[in-house]
Homo-oligomer: A and B are copies of this chain.
Amino acid sequence: MTVQRLSTYYMPTLKETPGDAEIISHQLLLRAGYMRKTASGIYSLLPLGWRVVQKIEQIVREEMDALGALEMRLPIIQPEEMWRESGRWDAYGPELMRLKDRHDRGWCLGPTHEEIISALIATDIKSYKQLPFALYQMNTKFRDEIRPRFGLLRGREFLMKDCYSFHASYDDLDEYYELQAQAYGRICERMGLNWRRVEADSGQIGGKVTAEFHAIAEAGESDIVYCDCGYAADIDTLGEGASLEVCPRCGGALERARGIEVGQVFQVGPQYSETMGVSFADVEGVDQPPIMGCYGWGITRSLAASVEQNFDEFGIKWPAAIAPFEVCLIGIGKDDAVAAALDALACQLDEAGVEVVIDDRAERPGTKFADADLVGWPHQVVVGARGLEAGTLEVKERKTGEKVDVPVKEVASYLKQRLG
């Protein structure tokens, strides 16, 4: 592949923080050139932002595939009649974006896809032998928030992974639900999130057993208490007399924060199968509704949550697993020797499977260093005439700020090792 160079990359950074950006992820994602606002609650993802999305999507994809879930794609616009069958057309309220086509038929822009997937499988599922199975997609979703805010945390158009599983029995659903919940924990770990599993209220979906996955952050919209033992709860769902200070599980001290919900798992049950007319013949030949599980993960929301947990006064500090590039080579000066060293090092890193970008812009060194910290490359290498003459290059880890002088010939292997 060709190594990317910032001189021809579309990464417009801003010196000033846009006025309507209240929280840090919103501010930094705008300032560092990851996204731009197109309208209230609607964002365009610039190339850097899209790269982070693709990294998160790939982590989620690998975890879903490992559970045997199959990726597919459902439509964004959904017919009114299906939402009437399920009863949600009237129940959902003004958050559901609705439209009419040229023939005056009603549609909505899907916030979730329980109706669509139930109608989809209705004609193809006939026997218990076809169960269980799970299908998922990563797709654009819509919710007409009355007051969109906080950038990617509460937008009107957003990216979500939604997975639906279908089972012949509750026991089977129980088992798969727990596998999904464990996969969500692994997604959080791989993204480097500080997270808690919160047993929670089921909201609009309507099932009973459900859990939310929260990233711990001050900017979150949920008020949660949590403990080192793993216990966590949404304060709004606790009974009146519940303590907010002592953990009911281990007796330890509870901590409190406004959590960001990045994922949710539900045991939905048979309700959509019943309203949408899905049934299978069980072992005795008796028609039964498949029992549904539903598992949502906020792709763009978890991107913003990561920034809320990984920043300092200079900018973003991406975990390497979801950074747009892992290493930035910062070229200082116009020497031919510097240009040659940049190319050689980039080539070595690229061949070693390290994602590298070259800052070859005609900017002052101070601007390049500031942009590197703002954008948040996990590792920065300063490539200038002075270092080349001395035979060592300065390698900085963004997360810790630690700077190490590494012999030129060992920079690639050093970084390869640091990136695991």
Q: A residues near B, CB below 8 A?
A: 1-2, 8-10, 12, 36, 38-39, 42-47, 49-50, 53, 65-66, 68, 70-79, 94-95, 97-102, 109, 116, 119-120, 123-124, 133, 135, 137, 139-140, 142, 144, 146, 156-157
Whether A74 contacts B144 in the complex (CB less than 8 A), given A44-B120, A102-B94, comes out as: no
In the complex, what residues of B have CB within 8 A of residue A36's CB? 120, 123-124
Other-chain contact of A49, B66, B72, B135, B146 (Cβ < 8 Å): B72
| Chain B residues positioned under 8 Å from A1 (CB to CB) | 65
CA distance A157 to B39 in the complex (A): 22
Residue numbers in B under 8 Å from A53 (CB-CB): 73
- CB-defined contacts of A79 to chain B, threshold 8 Å: 38-39, 42
Enumerate chain B residues within 8 angstroms of A75, measured Cβ to Cβ. Answer: 38-39, 42-44, 157
Q: Nearest residue in B to A93 (C-beta to C-beta)?
A: B102
- In the bound complex, residues from chain B placing their C-beta under 8 Å from that of A8 are 68, 133
Q: Which residue of B lies closest to A139 (CB)?
A: B140
CA distance A44 to B71 in the complex (A): 12
Cβ-defined contact, A119 with B38, below 8 A: yes
Q: Is the CB of B46 within 8 A of A157?
A: no
A120: which of B38, B123, B139, B142 is its contact (CB, 8 Å)? B38
Let me know if B44 and A73 touch, CB within 8 A.
Answer: yes
Most buried by B among A43, A47, A156: A47
CB of A376 to closest CB in B, whole Å: 18
Q: 9 pairs across A/B with beta carbons < 8 Å?
A: A10-B72, A10-B133, A10-B135, A38-B78, A38-B116, A38-B119, A76-B157, A95-B102, A99-B100
Copies of this chain, tallied across the complex = 2
Report chain B residues within 8 Å CB of A135. 10, 47
Q: Chain B residue with minimal CB distance to A98? A: B99
Shortest distance from the beta carbon of A36 to any chain B beta carbon, whole Å: 5
B71 A50 Cβ-Cβ under 8 A: yes
Select from chain B the residue with minimum beta-carbon distance to A101.
B144
A43-B75, A98-B99 known; 8 new pairs, CB 8 Å cut-off, are: A10-B133, A42-B75, A44-B116, A47-B71, A47-B72, A50-B71, A76-B157, A97-B99
Q: Which residues of B contact A47 (CB under 8 A)?
A: 70-72, 135
Nearest Cβ on chain B to A39's Cβ, whole angstroms: 5
Residues in B with CB closer than 8 Å to A70 are 9-10, 47
Complex interface: chain B residues within 8 A of A99 (CB): 97-100, 109
List the B side residues contacting A46 at CB < 8 Å.
72
Shortest A381–chain B CB gap in Å is: 23
Which residues of B lie under 8 Å from residue A146 when comparing CB positions? Answer: 102
The interface residues of chain B lying within 8 Å CB-to-CB of A2 are 65-66, 68
| B44 and A74 contact, CB distance less than 8 A | yes
For the complex, give the distance between the alpha carbons of A45 and B36 in Å. 30
Complex Cα–Cα for A36 and B39 (A)? 34
Give the Cβ gap from A402 to chain B, nearest Cβ, in Å.
31
Shortest Cβ distance from A343 into chain B, in angstroms?
Answer: 17
Q: Please, how many angstroms separate the alpha-carbon atoms of A34 and B137 in the complex?
A: 15
In the complex the two chains form, is A50's CB within 8 Å of B77's CB? no
